[in-house]
Structure 1
Amino acid sequence: MSCAFAFRAAVAAIVAGAVIAACTTSPTGRRQLKLVSDQEMAQMGAAAFQSLKSKTPPTQDRKTNAYVQCVAQAITRETGGEWEIQVFESQEVNAFALPGGKIGVYTGLLKVAANQHQLAAVIGHEVAHVLAGHSAARVSNEIAAQLGVSVLAATTGLSPDMIGLGANLLLLLPYSRGDESEADILGQQLMARAGFDPAEAPRLWVNMQKAGGGAPPELLSTHPSPDTRIHDLERNLPRVTPLYEQARAAGKKPACSA
């Protein structure tokens, strides 16, 4: 065996060992990479959130802000922790959640999410991404691809430059199709536990489909097709409806008005 081959084999073994050691399990049993700590992810989330706030104005409509805050707070009461919620004045039909307890909702989303239950489905979905570790996984995958797992494995923490890179990745990288499907189901559970009607989750995607016009075929997208999402969410209703009924019986009856 040549020295060069032995060296490459050793490096491969180190990388493989680092990857195995850094693998975690999502709430539904999916394996995913985690090379960054929760504290580092919170730093990235705070930096990304500050960047967005500096570029996109907050809404000045008090009623809209109160409505979104009402829905989001009902969701986050189920998760615990401190969450900062910002409503952005933008026609973009979107929302997001970031590690470190950050939630952003664009006013354009309210034209598609027809009621508090559908808005809760979106916010629950986005919060589920954070809770399931999807944000950490996509940043870890990209950092590993750029720098090499062995380099990261030899460090005790990320440099300020790496925190900045991670913050940018949070804003740019899409979630995988598996992440999106898992967040749909976990988000539906979360909204049901908060007292929102989980049957509105598939209806939200009917609205999204109408608003989006012709979407690309599923195989050409990292996201599941709207039809797939609708089917999966409808199929999950028997599992989450009891959670909704229990929440309502416990007095969790959100009355958030747009």
Structure 2
Amino acid sequence: MKVIGLIGLVILLVSGCATAPITGRSQIKLVSDRALISQSLTSYRKVISEEKLSTNAEQTAMVQRVGNRISHAVERYLQREHMLHLIDGFQWEFNLIENDTPNAWCMPGGKVAFYTGILPYTHDEDGLAVVMGHEIAHAVVGHSAERVSHVLLQQGGGLLLSGYMKGKDNASAVMQLYGMGSQVGVILPFSRTHELEADHMGLIFMAMAGYDPQAAVGFWERMAANDTEKPPEFLSTHPADDTRIRKIREYMPEAMTYYQP
């Protein structure tokens, strides 16, 4: 158990490096958000040049309209909370890619891509705003930098443990236990925390932009109905569907206080 808890202890010791907006959660960031923006811009340009952009003018305009409204809401919220530094270097951009995969993402720096495959699940602008708010929240709070930091700590812990176990008969078994324990006991739980945090923040951002946050429940129910073969929650990067929907219902009263249609 001491081996499994090693990386968790290290994270707890340094987890006060930053504070997430809205949730107030302490974050560990050994890598700055700003450091990832240049790399993200290069990756985004590569994706946009290689993928086929949608020729559906109406759908493309909807993605850009929702993105602009929510990004402006984010800026208003962060300005009010004196946290505009969280989006230093951001240059918002919203594109719709012709791809049947139900997916969307926002890179550090505010570069957003939606795939046409997610539109049957969003149904309308409110539904699309659920996804937009969620993905933008990941970038605003710096989840990418956090994930990189967790991996660095995991690797560092592994090196320390490897040195300590060198020459011992059970070294191989202990290292395997550390790898599995740190992944299941620390890395994956943090990933699920990021997902729920993005849900929470995304609801508030979309509400501030004038979109009805109650659309989130229907959207995630539709997504859950489409994906019936998921691993157990403790082995997943994402929370279980029933957990996610239950938490969204818990966040809803707060989100509705920001909603002005």
Q: Do both share a fold (TM > 0.5)?
A: yes
Once structures 1 and 2 are overlaid, which stretch shifts more, 223-232 or 22-31?
22-31
| Equivalent residue, structure 1, for 2:66 | 71
Are the equivalent residues in 2 in contact too, given 1:22–1:35 (CA < 8 A)?
A: no
Could you state the TM-score of these two structures normalised by the residue count of structure 1?
Answer: 0.73
Look up the match of 1:32: 27
1:239 Cα deviation after fit: 1.1
1:115 equivalent to 2:124? Answer yes
What code does the residue aligned with 2:216 have? A
Q: Distance in 1 between matches of 2:46 and 2:153?
A: 24
Aligned amino acid, residue 117 of structure 1: D
Q: Classify 1:217/1:37 alpha carbon distance in 2 versus 1 (closer, same or farther; 3 Å).
A: closer
Amino acid aligned to 1:42: I
Shift of residue 99 of structure 1?
1.0
Number of residues of Structure 1 aligned to a counterpart in Structure 2: 209
1:131 maps to which of 127, 140, 151: 140
Task: Give CA deviations for 1:95-119 in whole Å, capped at 9, x if unaligned.
Answer: 0011112011000000111111111
Amino acid corresponding to residue 75 of structure 1 in structure 2: I
Q: Judging changes above 3 Å, is the alpha-carbon distance between structure 1 residues 21 and 132 closer, same or farther for their aligned structure 2 residues?
A: closer
- Distance in 2 separating the partners of 1:147 and 1:46: 28
Is 2:17 the partner of 1:23?
yes
Amino acid at match of 2:147: R
Contact 2:94 2:113 in 1 (8 A): yes
Partners of 1:203 and 1:230 within 8 A in 2: no
Cα distance in 1 for residues equivalent to 2:45 and 2:16: 29
* Secondary structure of the corresponding residue to residue 112 of structure 1: helix
Which of 206, 210, 214 is residue 221 of structure 2 equivalent to?
A: 206
Letter paired with 2:98:
E
Provide the rounded CA distance (Å) in 1 between the counterparts of 2:155 and 2:236. Answer: 23
Q: 1:210 to 1:83 in 2, by over 3 A?
A: same
TM-score normalised by the chain length of structure 2 = 0.72
Partner in structure 2 of residue 47 of structure 1: 42
Separation of aligned partners in 2, 1:243 and 1:39: 29
1:165 counterpart residue number: none
CA distance in 1, matches of 2:15, 2:245: 36
CA distance in 2 between partners of 1:190 and 1:179 (Å): 16
> 1:26 Cα deviation (Å)?
1.9
My pick for the range that moved more, 37-46 or 229-238, is: 37-46
Gaps of 5+ in 2: 1-9, 76-89, 158-186
State the match for 2:199 in structure 1. Answer: 184
Contact 1:118 1:204 in 2 (8 A): yes
AA partner of residue 133 (structure 1) = G
What amino acid is the match of 1:210? A
Q: CA RMSD in A?
A: 2.7
What 5-or-longer segments of structure 1 have no aligned partner?
Answer: 1-15, 149-172, 249-258
Contact 1:112 1:211 in 2 (8 A): no
Aligned with residue 228 of structure 1, among 220, 243, 251: 243
- Aligned-pair identity (%): 38
Give, in whole Å, the separation in 1 of the partners of 2:31 and 2:49.
Answer: 26
Q: Distance in 2 between matches of 1:90 and 1:23?
A: 38
Counterpart residue type for residue 60 of structure 2:
N
